[in-house]
Amino acid sequence: MIAADTPALKEEVYRLRYNVYCLETGFETAESFPDGLEQDEYDAFSAHYLIQHRKTGLYAATTRLILPDKSNLHRPFPIERHSRIERKDLLHAIPRSRLAEASRFCISKDFKRRAGEAGTTAGIPHEAGDYKFSENERRTIPYLTLALFACLVNMSVQHGITHWYAIMEPALVRVFTRLGINFMPIGPVADYHGRREPCVITLQCLLDGVKAKGQQEWELLTDSGRFWKA
């Protein structure tokens, strides 16, 4: 895992996102990014991470955490612009300064090998609600997804974040639930690059849920507890 905190590393983030979001999935139009770097207005307010494959040096995956604007805590997150949030009762107790949005969660096509993964951003087949992982896949493939969550956990600790927004495909929400990551829906499914469900999660609940599923997964997410102290 590499913190993309230099111009050169951020360029690698944007290039990988361009490949996934523009060329592979078509969620964004390639013509909008003639330099081959997918960026938006939220990148300036975000922390970014990359996962690099040690053997080849290729960047396998990336994600970002859109941070609260400390000078304007009412600045809306993407989820607040593109979906309808109905469970405002769940948000009242969350300090705005500790709320961020997990975003641009994507894996390079070179590291998506299972049937159905091509054309997805996170390497989860569209039929994932009914997908059955083989025993070998349970040992290997989910760890790239969990490594991206570990990046988000690390960024959250660094920036004092305790809660995440996320807007995701419903099938992805169901897969994460099977890993012990229990996102709470807070509104109806929206049409935003396809069907997307607005959710929120508390980091402590996320880590407790993963730990209940398996100590090894919890250790990966927290670097054996180094990233996160309850």
Q: Are 225 and 211 in contact (CB under 8 A)?
A: no
Residue 91 lies in a domain: yes
Strand partners, 196: 190
Residue 19 lies in a domain: yes
Per-residue pLDDT reduced to its tens digit, 61-95: 999 999 999 889 999 999 999 999 999 888 888 99
Most confident of 82-86, 109-113, 127-131: 82-86
Residue 99 confidence (pLDDT)? 96
Residue 227 lies in a domain: no
Residue 228 lies in a domain: no
Per-residue burial over 159-195, b = 16 or more CB atoms within 10 Å of its CB, e = otherwise: eebebbbbbbbebbbbbbeebbbbbeebbebbebeee
Give how many domains the chain has, as a whole number. Answer: 1
Q: How many CB atoms lie within 10 A of CB 228?
A: 18
Residue 10 lies in a domain: yes
pTM: 0.83
- Report helix, strand and coil shares of the chain as percent, to nearest 5: 40, 20, 40
Residue 230 lies in a domain: no
Average pLDDT over residues 151-173: 92
Per-residue pLDDT reduced to its tens digit, 204-230: 999 999 999 888 888 888 888 777 765
Beta strands at 163-168 and 99-107: parallel, antiparallel or unpaired:
parallel
Residue 146 lies in a domain: yes
Residue 44 lies in a domain: yes
Q: What are phi and psi of 50, to 5 degrees?
A: -125, 150
Residue 160 confidence (pLDDT)? 94
What integer best gives the mean pLDDT of the chain?
84
> Which CATH number fits the domain that encloses residue 182?
3.40.630.30
- Supply the range of the domain harboring residue 181: 2-222
